[in-house]
Amino acid sequence: MSTSSTVSPGDSARDDLRAGRLSLGIELGSTRIKACLIGDDPSQVIAVGSHEWDNEFVGQVWTYSLEDVWSGLQAAYADLIDNAESRYGVRPDTFAAIGVSAMMHGYLAFDAAGDLLAPFRTWRNTTTGPAAAELTDLFGVNIPLRWSIAHLRQAVLDKEPHVPEIASLTTLAGYVHWQAHGSESSGSR
């Protein structure tokens, strides 16, 4: 007679949480920041957390403040940790991997000191018609209104005062990665 034992999915998840074998995914979406823990089987969600947020129309620009980026990330992460503890009795403090996804369109322009030069322009800003048309003609492919290059070219066309000071241009995804590990991994600098 075999004496093999079975491990329940909850026990396995608890062990993985304690050992830091899970992957943390964070997504900064348009209306919610989401956090999720998964193990080897990505279809099995171990814990989740979220924080609702929304952009604001400030000075004729749809924007999120950078402070809201960080407070929202912290709130979603805290919610995830609480969810893990509630489900498994463990508060994870290390992970096998961390991945961040965020809005890939928009405009975050920084000077050489790393200071934001203009409010973050989100994907909702579609004031870049002349620039997008010009770039589409120039490159022979469609350049959508929301793309960062369209925002940059429109800022140049509009002679916005911050343009000569731009040392770095990125998206929200690039910004979060840059701030999280100190280098601009999206190739924007």
* Burial class of residue 49 in the structure, from the number of CB atoms within 10 Å of its CB (0-12 exposed, 13-18 middle, 19+ buried): buried
pTM for the predicted model, two decimal places = 0.86
3-state class (DSSP) for residue 150: helix
Give the percent of the chain with pLDDT over 70.
92
What's the token pair of residue 100? 């961040």
95-113 pLDDT per residue, tens: 999 999 998 888 999 999 9
Three-state helix/strand/coil letters over the chain: CCCCCCCCHHHHHHHHHHHCCCEEEEEECCCEEEEEEECCCCCCEEEEEEEECCCEEECCEEECCHHHHHHHHHHHHHHHHHHHHHHHCCCCCCCCEEEEEECCCCEEEECCCCCECCCCECCCCCCCHHHHHHHHHHHCCCCCCCCHHHHHHHHHHCCCCCHHHCCEEECHHHHHHHHHHCCCCCCCC
What mean pLDDT value characterizes the chain?
90
Superfamily, domain 1-102? ATPase, nucleotide binding domain (3.30.420.40)
Instruction: Answer whether 1-102 and 103-189 agree in fold.
Output: yes
Helices (H) and strands (E) in the chain, counts: 5, 8
Domain spans of the chain, in order of start: 1-102, 103-189
More confident residue, 182 or 46: 46
Confidence of residue 2 (pLDDT cuts 50, 70, 90): very low
68 pLDDT more than 60: yes
Length of the chain: 189
Confidence of residue 183 (pLDDT cuts 50, 70, 90): confident
Return the DSSP state at 105.
S
Superfamily, domain 103-189? ATPase, nucleotide binding domain (3.30.420.40)
